[in-house]
Structure 1
Amino acid sequence: MKKIIIYIIILLLYQDYSFGQSYTLEQCLQMALENNYKLKKAQNNIKSSEQDKKEAFTKYFPNISAVGGTYKTNNGMAEISLAPLVPGMEMSMMKDGIVAGISAIQPIFTGGQIYLGNKLTEIGTEISKYQLKQTEDEIILTVNQYYWQLVSLQEKIKTIEIMESLINNIQNDVKNAVDAGITNQNDLLQIQLKKNNIASSRLQLENGIRLSKMVLGQYIGDFESNFSIISPQLDSLPSPITYRINHIDALPSLNAYQLVNKNVEASKLQQKMKIGQNMPTLGIGAGYFYHDLLNQDHSFGMIFASVTVPISNWWGGTHAIKKQKIQVKNAELTRQNTREMLLIQMQKCWNELEESYKQMNISKESISVANENFRLNKEYYKAGTISLSDMLEAQSLLQQSRDQYTEDYTLYLIKRTQYLQATGQNSREGQTN
């Protein structure tokens, strides 16, 4: 009875371990875009810039302020002597009092500072959105890298299983040959060493899978659970020419290029702001005031206009304007440099994509050659024309060719994502193809 209970517990634990949540690449991408910490911070930055925009818009409205105060002195602030008329007669007034009022000032002309400030906050919001898109691209690329890394490791595990089956069959054949006196015990020792080597490779792959799953889980927001990924069939992939576009035409759609354009635009607005800060400002206002200074309540309304001319600012302001002009030139130089670097990056990504596709096809052909080579060496060994070492070497070449194809296949998919992002295309399109 105890054995049955233990068996049931082990079975339940095994089921819990084996039937965890499985994710496709598209599901991993969707989860990452919903749960990733970097993306949440970028989304918060947009919300923050939108609040800046709303704050700047309030500058168009009147500036309303209220003031109030009271005081008490030991002597009156105003003293009158009536000695010429009434000897010894003096008066002291305003020993205490109350003052209060409310006023509203509407800016009429500020050198364009309010308008320019609003435009700058709009640019700030747009920049935050472009930065969010950049963060999304980074997350998509990283999830792709770890997902296909996991696929590669899992495919290598499958290759290990094939190699284990092959080596077990060879071991049986060699054991029969040893028992028949056809070969010696040394061949069995060589096979055991080969099996140990395969077991060591399996252990390394399993550890790599566990670590890669932890990193991928951290990105997709499923760090704690024992999830798995669904490995797609390694079918034929479309040629890179399918994704090729004109790189110069792609420039305007790139986030990095949009950002440097916005940087130039912001620099020009900041230059105008510097000019506006050195111009006169005009405002009109109205207020209502109350005071009790002579033990008598008094209230009154008032309208007024104000003009402020920053005369002393002109001395340093001219240098500030010249400095900002230099900043505009630097922003334009940065844009030109970024343009050229983006074109270089697109060409580099294209070269790597094309190269990885060709390398993948070479690796695929190598598997067929390695399979045939192993088959022939196995026959030659049975015929006694080659040594066991030669046959085991042929098996190693078969394993290497399968692993190389897996690496090249997944690398091509990663390079495809990089090229799609570098050229401003939808990098999630056709991810599982």
Structure 2
Amino acid sequence: MKTPFLYLFLLAGLLSAFPAGAQSLSLEECRKAAVEHNRTLRSSRFDLEASRQTRREAFTNYFPQISASGGIFQAQHGLVQADFGVSVPQLGTMNLPISMVKRGLFGSVTAVQPVFAGLKIVTGNRLARLGEEVGELQLRKTEGEVREQTDTYYWQIASLKDNLSTLDAVERQLAEIHRQVELSVKAGLVTTNDLLRVELRQQEVASNRLKVENGLKVSKLLLANHIGVDWRGLDVETSEWSEPEAPGVYYVSVEEALDRRAEYQLAEKNVEAQKYQKRMERGKLLPTVGVGAGYLYYNVTDKDVDDGMVFAQVSVPISAWWGGAHALKKARIREEQAENDRMQAREMLAVEIEKTWCEVQEAYAQILLARQSVASATENLRENRSFYQAGTAPLTDLLDAETLYTESRNNLTSACAAYRMSLARYMRVTGR
């Protein structure tokens, strides 16, 4: 009776190992999957969570610092050794040795509340809060990069699938040409050289198909790994492929885009962080004041003794002033450097935004030119096919026309892919 259950178990394992059908994803579905499963994004979220814990840790510095200590000891000899002089009549003065505190135990608890610490606690908390904001900006920056890479992989797959469609059309055309040439050879109208030319062209197309199919498989592997899905059943929808929208609707001004860029906001946060670092260096040169309370217990003479106390303490870092002045000057220099880096980042980001917009416009213009080339190549192929069938054009002209048609279709596909990818990059560099 166990054998049927074993067969069912093996069958279930095989079905789970090979997906039943292809999983066709739209571009938006790929983006959502990348947000949920991409490992780079996950690492950025871990960094953000760590910065949140750092902020919470810094907040605890406002609380009193509580410490407790205790101990027990057993000495070989008494810790207090003394001679006690005793006067005895008729014997005079005698020294009697005394040994005390041979064993004992003690314990204490103290709590110190910082009243003034040179603003280091306040500044440290602001720095920690700033670190959390930086973590959020880094996550936003990573999300933009992951989104752009997702779009790149998606449109690579779409372009390769379109190349396969072109190859399908070319193979059908070559098959029809081969049939006509074969009939002409049998009828003695042409030589077998024409048939060999067609077959060579068919073999060339078959070789190109193999390259495109391998490229498509690798691109699907990359996309699947990027968005965290199973590559074996992955496919993408290409309904948005053929008619891309003109780029004008995506344009934003450079100033607006700069304010959105996470990279520029990170440069501004760096300036703010250097200001806080300067305050920290200044705080190291200021005195610190604290108040506290404590409880002390000890038993060293077989008698329990306990007592409470309150105290205040002031610490002045006098020796720190020697090198602290130079550390403060260095912090001021770092602040000026951060401001210079911010201005440089703004200038370079503005150049990047303008350059990317030019690339988007150029890519769209290439699509318009490629469409005209496809129309011309299609008409040229139609005419040469008619001329060949009428016997007024040689086979080489027909094959050349077919080659031009294939190249024009592939050029249009490449232009559409380049436009989609450049548009994805433009969306990233404008902070969207």
The TM-score, its normalising length taken from structure 2, stands at 0.93
1:126 aligns with 2:133: yes
Tell me whether 1:72 sits opposite 2:74 in the alignment. Answer: yes
**Change in CA separation of 1:399 and 1:334 when aligned onto 2, cut-off 3 Å:** same
Taking the TM superposition and a 5 Å limit, the aligned residue runs for 1:271-350 are: 271-350=278-357
Deviation of 1:224 (Å): 4.9
Q: For 2:237 and 2:172, locate their aligned partners in 1 and report how far apart those are by CA, in whole Å.
A: 24
**Would you say 1:42 and 2:44 are equivalent positions?**
yes
Q: Structure 1 residues 233, 287: CA separation in 2 closer, same or farther (over 3 Å shift)?
A: closer
The aligned residue for residue 28 of structure 2 is 26
Trace 1:221-260 onto structure 2 (pairs within 5 A). Answer: 221-260=228-267
For 1:99 and 1:293, the matched residues in 2 are separated by: 8
Cα pair distance change 1:222/1:273, threshold 3 Å:
same
Percent identity between matched residues is 37
Q: Which amino acid aligns with 1:187?
A: D
Q: CA deviation at 1:79?
A: 2.5
Decide whether the 8 Å contact of 2:82 with 2:98 is kept in 1.
yes
For residues 118-171 of structure 1, the C-alpha deviation after alignment (integer angstroms, 9 at most, x for no partner) is 001111111111111111111111111111000000001000000011011111
Q: Which residue of 2 aligns with 1:116?
A: 123
From the superposition, tell whether residues 235 and 207 of structure 1 become closer, same or farther in structure 2 (CA, over 3 Å). Answer: closer
- 1:18, distance to aligned residue in structure 2 (A): 7.5
Per the alignment, residue 163 of structure 2 pairs with 156
Matched residue SS, 1:181: coil
Q: Distance in 1 between matches of 2:159 and 2:209?
A: 13
Q: Which moved more, 1:79-88 or 1:251-260?
A: 79-88
How far does the alpha carbon of each residue in 1:31-53 deviate from its partner, in whole angstroms, 9 at most, with x for none? 11100111111111111111101
Deviation at 1:235, TM superposition (A): 3.7
Question: Partner of 2:370 in structure 1?
Answer: 363
Q: Do structure 1's residue 268 and structure 2's residue 272 form an aligned pair?
A: no
SS of the aligned residue for 2:138 comes to: helix
The match for 2:408 is 401
Say which SS state the counterpart of residue 237 (structure 1) adopts. Answer: coil
**How many residues get paired?**
413
| Cα deviation digits, residues 186-231 of structure 1 (max 9, x gap) | 0000000010011111111111111111110101111453221122
Please state how far the C-alpha of 1:180 moved relative to its aligned partner: 1.8
Instruction: Show CA shifts across 1:382-419 (max 9, x none).
Output: 33333211210110110111111111112111111111
Answer yes or no: is 1:185 the counterpart of 2:192.
Answer: yes
Aligned equivalents of 2:29, 2:56: Cα separation in 1: 36
RMSD: 1.7
User: 1:111 is paired with a residue of what secondary structure?
Assistant: coil
- Per-residue deviation, residues 336-370 of structure 1 (Å, max 9, x unmatched): 11000000000010000000000011001111000
If the length of structure 1 is used for normalisation, what is the TM-score?
A: 0.92
Partner of 1:54: 56
User: What SS is found at the alignment partner of 2:232?
Assistant: coil
1:165 is the counterpart of 2:172: yes
Instruction: Give the whole-Å Cα distance in 1 for the aligned partners of 2:199 and 2:328.
Output: 80
**Structure 2 Cα separation of the partners of residues 140 and 252 of structure 1:** 20
Q: 1:233: Cα distance to partner?
A: 4.5
Match 1:176 to one of 179, 183, 187: 183
